[in-house]
Chains A and B, each alone.
Chain A
Amino acid sequence: MDPDLILLLNGIVSGLLLGGLYAAAATGLAVSFGMLDIVNIAHPALMVMGAFTVVLIGTALGLDPLLVAVLQAPLFYLLGVLIYGVYHHFFEKRGEEALQGLAFFFGVMFIIEVGLVMAFGPEQRFLDPPYAFITWRLGEIDLPLRMLAPALLALAALGALHLYLKRSFTGLAVAAVAQDAEALRLMAVNPVRIKRLAFGLSVALASIAGGALVVVQPVDPSSGQIFIGRVFAICIMGGMASLPGCLTAALLFGVVENVTATFYGPSWSPAVAFGWLLLVLAFRPQGLFGRMA
């Protein structure tokens, strides 16, 4: 086969795998930003914090990073509940989400990032599971397990979340709170309780995404910054509150970014994220598949 074509095919396949990681990172945001209308810009920072705790626990106990990520998710759920409690009490209830609420999450992001620098130092951390060095080959196409395993975990988490939102009573209530919190109140369901639960879930997803991240690449305290553009672009492009839309957008995004990196060099990939975000905001703010909000 033509070497350029092989390069392109490999770029697409590993882009899809990378897209799995992005899906994990963006799903939590689709819940908090898309469904609950909480602009959690600290989400990528929470993900990086998850990655650091995975490294810490995984190294201490000798456990697999993806397993640790899932095991620590309940703790992150509680953290999310706590953050939402503060946010609701001081900002949402007073109707001051716009300026003060944004500043609050920016402060949280900053505290996490600088806190990680103080606790762990600015250098990169990694935790390689044994399968990280294995690569399956399908003909000319490489399937590195370092990318495949996190992508599969991300898909599993996304699928579980999707089922939960579509099938369970509380899951449906989360979708309902996204549409009309007042109506939910009239049905004798407390929208604040539902939002607290959903925000906790979104932070738990950040923990899982953090575990996936640390398998794919080494992390440092400021790794979250570059993810801000990516996850918000994906979330908006996917139509904000739609999980299938989010997954599709994430896979597409992974492919475009990876193919750009393959042919033009990896230093340009942040520019892809930002350019894409701007284009989406300028031309299709309702997302690729979505209706106008």
Chain B
Amino acid sequence: MSAAGERSVEAVGLDAPRAAVPKLLAPSPHHALFWLCAVLLGAALVVGLRLIGNEYGYFAGYFILQYIVLSSAWNILGGYAGYVNFGAAGFMAAGAYTAIALRKAFGLDLLPGIVAAGFVAGLLGLGTGYLTLRLRGVFFSIATLCLAVVLQTLIVNWDYVGGSRGAYIVRPREVPPFVSYGEYMFVVMLVLAILAVGISRTVELSRLGRGLQAIRDNERAAEAVGVPTLRLKLIATTLCGALMGVAGAPLPYYSGYLNPEAAFSLAYAVNAIAMPLIGGAGSWLGPVIGAVLLGGLQQAATVTISSALNLWIVGWMLVIFVALFPRGIIGWFRRRA
């Protein structure tokens, strides 16, 4: 762990050692290969689900993909830089309500809504980060914890977007060329998930990611060798918030109705943390594994047990995993290999 930390510090701070051990420092990122594989996998999923032809498949798929976006977003700040964001539900709801407000005000559709949601939630992240990130990391975490509560107060008091009664969005019967509205929503979320994972992977392998890892391992040392810590943290917070907002924007379109209670559901906050930590925070693959595993489990379990019990199990899994497997599933496999 510490060896990796020192290496990443050097990689960001000084260019000289990088030339000395080029193989160790910069493994070829294979960006093109990754994107190709991701797109192929996505296409295979769409084709496979169409062959199965069951609406529930799209529903479950959307559920899991949304958590892939959310936990990849959390991982950029939490996994790479070690700053815990408890406000996933708040950022997500900010995205969802941006989409609702824009539709009411200008009649904008889902796609511009997603862009705007990313923008608004990103600004929210930047603002929170700007006010609290110069202090110790826990203060940022506490601020994000409260952010969700206050945003909920604002939304409940804001009648234009439905207040506590909630807001409706009339779903079109079909969106050509998709076979059903469910497939349309699934494909939208699939594209977002591929983008989110791709962004999180690119960040991890770039100078930005190495700087964030240096911050996580030893912020003072990173600062001392010239990593612009505050700037990197702010970039990560903005990116994290924006991606969470993007994950939330399709939510009202997906369910056709959204009220503050559903948008700010604690389930998002706890899953956004539990999934990366269980999968393995600090690697782009960890949140994907966690989201597929935990999301799939919850989808399967909702059929048999109540949703409260379902969430309770997620809470216990989070506690047990951080205690016994602090590096997550990925870390466990790496140690054995």
Q: Are A285 and B139 in contact (CB under 8 A)?
A: yes
Please pick, from A39, A99, A118, A278, the residue contacting B132 in the complex, using a CB distance under 8 A. Answer: A278
Choose from B132, B145, B318, B326 the contact partner of A94 (Cβ within 8 Å).
B326
B308 and A117 within 8 A (CB): yes
Q: Which of A102, A118, A277, A278 contacts B84 (CB 8 A)?
A: A102
- Report whether B273 and A225 are in contact in the complex, using a CB–CB cutoff of 8 Å: no
B149 touches A274 (CB 8 A): yes
The interface stretch among A20-28, A130-138, A178-186, A263-271 is A263-271
Selected from B146, B306, B322, the residue in CB contact (under 8 A) with A100 is: B322
Give A100 to B216 CA distance when docked, in angstroms. Answer: 12
Please give the number of chain B residues whose Cβ is less than 8 angstroms from any Cβ of chain A in the complex: 45
Q: Which residue, of B139, B146, B154, B277, has the highest number of chain A Cβ atoms within 10 A?
A: B146
Question: Known interface pairs A114-B308, A271-B153. Does A281 touch B132 (Cβ–Cβ under 8 Å)?
Answer: yes
Is B141's CB within 8 Å of the partner chain A?
A: yes
- Is A282 touching B277 in the complex (CB atoms < 8 A)? no
Q: How far is the CA of A209 from the CA of B137 in the complex (A)?
A: 27
Instruction: Give Cα A232 to B138, complex, Å.
Output: 11
Find out whether the CB atom of A277 lies under 8 angstroms from the CB atom of B146. Answer: yes
Q: How far is the CB of B320 from chain A (nearest CB, A)?
A: 9
Contact A267-B323, Cβ < 8 Å, known A114-B315, A229-B146, A229-B150: no
- What residues on B are CB-neighbors of A274 within 8 Å? 146-147, 149-150
Which of A55-63, A104-112, A163-171, A249-257 contacts the other chain? A104-112
- Taking a contact as CB atoms under 8 Å apart, the answer to whether A39 and B141 are in contact is yes
Nearest B residue to A275 via CB reads B150
Which residues 279-337 in B have Cβ within 8 Å of A in the complex? 281, 306, 308-309, 311-312, 314-316, 318-319, 322-324, 326
Partner of B326, one of A100, A225, A285: A100
Q: Which residues of B contact A90 (CB under 8 A)?
A: 322-324
**Closest CB in chain B relative to A145 CB, distance in Å:** 29
Any A CB within 8 A of the CB of B270: yes
A86 at the interface (CB under 8 A from B): yes
Across the A-B interface, how many residue pairs have beta carbons closer than 8 Å? 123
Contact digits for A9-39, partner B, Cβ 8 Å, 1 yes 0 no: 0000000000000000000000000000001
Contact among B135, B147, B153, B308 for A285, CB-based, below 8 A: B135
Q: Is A78's beta carbon under 8 Å from chain B?
A: no
* B5 within 8 Å of A (CB atoms): no
Query: Is A99's CB under 8 angstroms from B157's CB?
Result: no
Give A95 Cβ to nearest chain B Cβ, in Å.
11
Instruction: Give the residues in chain A near B277, CB-CB below 8 Å.
Output: 100, 103
- For the complex formed, measure the closest distance between the CB of B195 and the CB atoms of chain A, giving whole angstroms: 26
- Contact, CB under 8 Å: B149 / A106: no
Q: Does B78 contact A (CB under 8 A)?
A: yes
Question: B315 and A110: CB pair below 8 A?
Answer: yes
Q: Is there contact, CB below 8 Å, between A114 and B312?
A: yes
Interface of A: prevailing SS = helix
B38 near A: Cβ within 8 Å? no
Q: How far is the CB of A49 from the nearest CB of chain B, in Å?
A: 14
Contact between chains at B149 and A225 (CB < 8 Å): yes
Q: How far is the CA of A282 from the CA of B132 in the complex (A)?
A: 6
B119 at the interface (CB under 8 A from A): no
Contacts of B156 in A (CB 8 A): 267
* Residues A106 and B154 in contact, CB atoms below 8 Å apart: no
Task: Tell me which residues across on chain B come within 8 A of A113, comparing CB atoms.
Answer: 266
Residues of chain A contacted by B316 (CB below 8 angstroms)? 107, 111
Q: How far is the CA of A96 from the CA of B324 in the complex (A)?
A: 12
Do B322 and A228 have beta carbons less than 8 Å apart? no
> Does A226 sit within 8 A of B, measured CB to CB?
yes
CB–CB B145/A98 < 8 A: no
Chain A residues in 8 Å Cβ range of B145: 41, 228-229
| A99 near B84: Cβ-Cβ < 8 Å | yes
0/1 interface trace, chain A 210-250, chain B, CB 8 Å (1 if under): 00000000000010011011001000100000000000000
Out of A104, A226, A275, A285, which one reaches B322, CB within 8 Å? A104
**A103 with B146: CB separation less than 8 A:** no
Residues of chain A within 8 A (CB-CB) of B138 are 39, 98, 102
- Knowing A110-B311, A118-B309, A270-B149 are in contact, say whether A103-B139 is a contact too (CB < 8 A): no
Asked if residues B142 and A41 are in contact (CB atoms below 8 Å), the reply is yes
Confirm or deny: A115 has a beta carbon within 8 angstroms of a beta carbon on chain B.
yes
Given the complex, which residues of B lie within 8 Å of A282, measured CB to CB?
A: 131-132
Q: How far is the CA of A107 from the CA of B139 in the complex (A)?
A: 18
List A contacts of B153 (CB < 8 A). Answer: 267-268, 270-271
Q: Closest 6 CB pairs between A and B?
A: A229-B146, A107-B319, A274-B150, A110-B315, A90-B323, A107-B318
Additional pairs, 16, CB under 8 Å, beyond known A39-B141, A228-B142, A228-B149: A39-B138, A86-B323, A91-B322, A91-B323, A98-B137, A98-B138, A103-B273, A103-B318, A104-B323, A107-B315, A110-B315, A111-B312, A118-B308, A118-B312, A268-B153, A274-B149
A-B pairs with beta carbons under 8 Å apart, 20 shown = A90-B323, A90-B324, A98-B137, A99-B84, A104-B322, A106-B318, A107-B270, A107-B319, A110-B270, A110-B318, A113-B266, A114-B315, A117-B308, A226-B149, A228-B145, A228-B149, A232-B146, A267-B156, A274-B149, A285-B139
